[in-house]
Amino acid sequence: MVDDNDYLEGYVQGFAAVMGASRPLPPVPPQPVTRPGRTAFQMGMIEGISKGFQRKGMDAPEFVKPLIPVQPAEPLRRRRAR
């Protein structure tokens, strides 16, 4: 189970997804302000993916940002099953 408030774990998983789990982890940047509709874990994952692409000498892909849809959590909770 993933802790949604764990920025560091998101960063580690995002970096490992691009570079592989055996690569040493670079210094972790300070946690940015969490965007509306995202969790600290998601923000860490986005930062980790971006850092992994930078380490490979590539531009961070634009698909990383829309990968996790930005939706307020409250309307999702109010939805009813049909």
Band (pLDDT 50/70/90 cuts) for residue 55 is confident
Confidence (pLDDT) at 22: 87
What is the rounded distance in angstroms from the CA atom of residue 28 to the CA atom of residue 47?
9
The structure tokens 């980790």 sit at 48
The verdict on pTM exceeding 0.85 is no
**CA-closest candidate to residue 10, choices 67, 78, 59:** 67
What is the average pLDDT across 30-44? 87
Confidence (pLDDT) at 62: 67
| Residue ranges covered by each domain of the chain | 1-16+38-56
Backbone torsions φ then ψ of 17, nearest 5 degrees = -65, -35
Band (pLDDT 50/70/90 cuts) for residue 53 is confident
Q: Is the pLDDT of residue 68 over 50?
A: no
